[in-house]
């Protein structure tokens, strides 16, 4: 399996800029009350903590040193009130911060999910599922942690430093000035480490996305891995990805680990300077110097101030990781859909009418055209079968009809109107598709059927299942229509999932119907049931059928043979057989393979002879 996650290779280089932080900050706008509440609570907590330190110095000087028990009792009573206030507001800001984090995470995930619904099919074809999941889950969680607990720590730190400086200035302004020069030193250290930590975390997030994608592939493809004995190679591939993440994470962790001790050294220098200069003045208390209590308070304030600095250093290191996550999440939110409504687009009201491809050219890669000046006129209500070799352009044609993609040049008209002038919802809501690999959502059969039309009644659901040939097997389950299908429909067979998928399309009552290799993965009996359901669904509707088994399209109004993005042949079944061209060769080759398979099963060529009826 390839390690080339094309879209994942988007690079973010250099230092982060203020726009990213501003966008992160804007996530708080809808929750400004909670934000303001916890900031006010933090401010009160910081002020009360600083005031308690001040009370301790007063207790030493006015109570213990002065030998005044009454004054000591008064100060201790005030200290108890301050402690109760502190406890109350600590509860308030922790509660508000926790709630804020969950609100931001919910909003961000909802925004990403909603935006994903607007992106075109091409985005999902080029973007690994695991890469998207890592942004929706882990990246949004990391951003929410930064914006709640990270902002809390930063706010708390700023408040603590501000209140500490205030009380320090009231005690000894000259000694306070000894500490201030260390602030620029801390800023220089932070700037130096920031650039290196951010690079490591960017690489770590990229590696994490690849690991998530690999996990997704390994889990969904576990049957193939087991069947081919690829366990060891899968382990080696996963090991290579995890080593890349380890290397990137180790680099970031190394610089993060060095960051904290650097701040601690600066803090120790500041405390040492205060103790030295303050201690020289302690002998001159009566002459206006510092008292024992003031010395104690000043040292406590230094510690009180430097501890938040060290804590903010930790938050700053974590912030680099969150910014790397934010860059990727915002890049997803900034991704524009390839297919969008035109400014003058309108709901067509109906898609019943002729469908015309007029000199349509389309390519996924500019150097590899899939369709070139393609022309096709399909009449309203006509059933058209598309056949041909793999890669010829059959699926591209129906993807263009459904407007999952748009022509690079040329025009597709429905009922005489350029379909780019129609709204996407107007087209998609009137188009039904049954794919080769049907997808069911976790839940009951009834819920999956109702996905075709959310306002459908139970009786309408059962009627659609009967038309599609799914009712008979559904009622054999103990819970009937309320039977759980499992994740991705894993509790049902491929044929059962296909019939439910067909019934879901029947319920939607589409005006244009597409069957893309819908019978290629089922047995002959199930194929007959699907054929019966198709006949009921296609009646009166314009239909396009891509079929691997050519026996399933003999009744098509027109069979179009596609080769190299062009129409090689066109006509009904009998006309194309008489031409003895591409279709004749495909059909007879497949007929011989089916006859040989039947001969192998039955044992005699006479028993396999009925297959010749197709010719």
Pairing of strands 383-387, 558-563: parallel
Q: Which two tokens stand for residue 61?
A: 């000087």
Q: What DSSP letter does each residue of 491-551 carry, written as one string?
A: TS-HHHHHHHHHHHHHHH--SEEEEESTTTTS-HHHHHHHHHHHHHHHTTSEEEEE-SSGG
pLDDT in tens, 270-294: 667 666 666 665 544 443 456 667 7
Higher pLDDT: 442 or 263? It is 442
Which DSSP helix (H) or strand (E) runs through 536? helix 524-538
Q: Please state, in angstroms and rounded to a whole number, the distance separating the CA atoms of residues 217 and 133.
A: 13
pLDDT of residue 24: 86
Scored b (16 or more CB within 10 A) or e, 322-333 reads bbbbbbbbbebe
pTM: 0.69
What does R_g of the chain's alpha carbons equal in angstroms?
36
pLDDT, mean over the chain: 80
Q: SS3 for 195-207, per residue? A: HHHHHHHHHHHHH
Are 278 and 156 a contacting pair, CB within 8 Å? Answer: no
Q: CA-CA distance, 441 to 82, in Å (whole number)? A: 56
Under 8 Å between Cβ of 86 and 48: yes
- pLDDT level of residue 221 (50, 70, 90 thresholds): confident
**For strand 558-563 and strand 566-571, is the pairing parallel, antiparallel, or unpaired?**
antiparallel
Distance between CA atoms of 155 and 390, rounded to whole angstroms?
A: 61
Write out the two tokens for 112. Answer: 């990403």
**Higher per-residue pLDDT: 407 or 588:** 407
Given a cut of 80, whether residue 61 has pLDDT beyond it is no
Reported as a single tens digit per residue, the pLDDT across 453-476 is 888 999 999 988 888 888 989 999
Domains of the chain in sequence order: 7-334 (1.20.1560.10)
The pLDDT tens digits for 241-275 are 788 777 777 777 777 777 777 777 776 776 676 66
Report how far Cα 473 is from the mean position of its chain's Cα atoms.
36
Q: CB-hemisphere CA count at 13 Å for 201?
A: 27
The alpha carbon torsion through 420, 421, 425, 428 (nearest 10 deg) reads: -40
How many residues in total does the chain contain? 615
d(Cα 564, Cα 392) in Å, to the nearest integer?
5
Helix 69-118 vs helix 32-58: angle between axes, to the nearest 10 degrees? 160
More confident position, 41 or 287: 41
The arithmetic mean of pLDDT across residues 44-73, rounded, is 82
Q: What are the distances in angstroms from CA 162 to CA 156, 168, 209, 211, 271?
A: 10, 10, 41, 44, 17
The packing angle between helices 458-468 and 524-538, to 10°, is 120
């Amino acid at each position: 399996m390839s390690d080339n996650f094309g879209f994942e290779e988007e690079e973010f280089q250099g230092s982060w800029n203020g726009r990213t932080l501003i966008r992160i900050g804007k996530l708080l706008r809808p929750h400004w009350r909670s934000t303001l509440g916890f900031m006010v609570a933090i401010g009160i907590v910081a002020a009360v903590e600083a005031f308690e330190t001040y009370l301790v110095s007063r207790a030493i000087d006015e109570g213990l040193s002065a030998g005044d028990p009454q004054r000591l009792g008064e100060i201790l009573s005030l200290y108890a009130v301050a402690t109760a206030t502190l406890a109350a507001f600590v509860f308030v800001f922790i509660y508000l911060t926790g709630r804020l984090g969950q609100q931001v995470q919910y909003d961000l995930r909802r925004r990403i999910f909603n935006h994903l619904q607007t992106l075109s099919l091409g985005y999902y074809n080029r973007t690994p599922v695991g890469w998207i999941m890592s942004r929706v889950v882990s990246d949004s969680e990391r951003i929410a942690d930064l914006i709640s607990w990270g902002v809390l720590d930063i706010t708390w730190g700023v408040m603590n430093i501000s209140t500490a400086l205030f009380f320090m200035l009231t005690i000894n302004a000259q000694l306070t000035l000894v500490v201030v020069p260390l602030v620029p030193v801390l800023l220089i250290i932070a700037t130096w480490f920031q650039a290196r930590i951010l690079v490591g975390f960017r690489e770590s997030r990229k590696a994490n996305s690849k690991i998530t994608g690999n996990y997704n592939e390994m889990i969904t493809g576990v049957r193939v891995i087991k069947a081919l004995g690829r366990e060891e190679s899968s382990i080696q591939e996963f090991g290579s990805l995890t080593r890349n993440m380890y290397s990137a994470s180790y680099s970031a962790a190394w610089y993060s680990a060095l960051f904290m001790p650097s701040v601690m050294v600066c803090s120790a220098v500041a405390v040492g300077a205060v103790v030295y200069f303050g201690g020289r003045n302690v002998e001159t208390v009566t002459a206006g110097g510092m008292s024992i209590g003031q010395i104690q308070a000043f040292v406590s304030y230094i510690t009180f101030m430097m501890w938040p600095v060290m804590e903010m250093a930790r938050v700053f290191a974590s912030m680099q990781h969150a910014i790397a996550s934010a860059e990727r999440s915002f890049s997803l939110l900034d991704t524009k859909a390839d297919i969008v409504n035109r400014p003058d687009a309108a709901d067509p009201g109906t898609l019943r009418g002729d469908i015309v491809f007029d000199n349509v050219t389309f390519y996924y890669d500019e150097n590899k055209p899939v369709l070139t000046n393609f022309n096709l006129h399909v009449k309203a209500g006509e059933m058209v079968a598309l056949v041909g070799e793999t890669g010829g352009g059959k699926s591209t044609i129906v993807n263009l009809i459904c407007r999952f993609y748009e022509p690079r040049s040329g025009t597709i008209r429905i009922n005489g109107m350029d379909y780019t002038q129609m709204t996407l919802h107007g087209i998609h809501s009137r188009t039904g598709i049954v794919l080769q690999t049907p997808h069911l959502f976790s839940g009951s059969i009834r819920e999956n059927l109702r996905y075709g039309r959310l306002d459908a009644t139970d009786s309408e659901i059962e009627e659609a299942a009967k038309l599609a040939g799914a009712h008979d097997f559904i009622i054999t389950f103990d819970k009937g229509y309320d039977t759980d299908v499992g994740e991705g429909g894993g509790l049902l067979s491929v044929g059962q999932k296909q019939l439910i998928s067909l019934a879901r399309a029947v319920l939607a009552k589409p005006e244009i119907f597409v069957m893309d290799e819908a019978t290629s993965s089922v047995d002959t009996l199930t194929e007959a049931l699907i054929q019966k359901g198709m006949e009921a669904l296609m009646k009166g509707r314009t239909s396009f059928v891509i079929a691997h088994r050519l026996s399933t399209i003999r009744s098509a109004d027109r069979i179009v043979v596609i080769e190299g993005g062009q129409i090689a042949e066109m006509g009904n079944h009998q006309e194309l057989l008489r031409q003895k061209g591409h279709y004749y060769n495909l059909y007879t080759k497949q007929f011989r393979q089916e006859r040989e398979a039947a001969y192998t099963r039955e044992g005699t060529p006479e028993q396999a002879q009925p297959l010749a009826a197709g010719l």
